[in-house]
Structure 1
């Protein structure tokens, strides 16, 4: 099997597993917290950002794209996290005259995502000083 095909298969396998994980977490949180706010999407995006930051800190920029990175970040976390669901849920809140909830969703997703990727990076033992991405 060629290197290109192996990479595609790693991304495909990771994406399938990530999509199933997102489905499970989103449904679990919707059952327990209700559907008035997209808690599941916020949780998967925040936890995915944390894991991406941690993996970046442990893998380093120079080794990308390694097979681990292709499977875990491009595939698994790419399938697990979701901008499209976030966008659709935010528009739905706005169209249902819930502008405050829509705005909170936007702000929470952005701020929590940035905080979680930074926390993941720091948890990996990496330092933020002198880093330019």
Structure 2
């Protein structure tokens, strides 16, 4: 089934706990997915927030050449239920453990964090029952 309206967020376990930038995205009426483009520079990151129910499945796909994402559950202090730097930039069927606001954090690692060049990305998020 579809979530009529949801909030989306992007996460990175390598960054500080407070978001440097965050964006709320609402799913269009009747859709169970949303997509957004952005860019990060150096060791910054961008968070997207999405509200979902426990037991639903989340899919996240990140198109980029030099960034990663984490999915963090409600109340997380940095712990991720999915880490794309380990598991890849296409998460499918991630079962959500509880109801609340999830954070998807897009971030960079390594030498890219020391540059001043923007790292463009596109992140797509879906929620399924």
TM-score of the aligned structures, taking structure 2 as reference length = 0.22
Flag the structure with higher helix content. 1
Larger radius of gyration: 1
Q: Identify the structure with the greater strand proportion.
A: 2
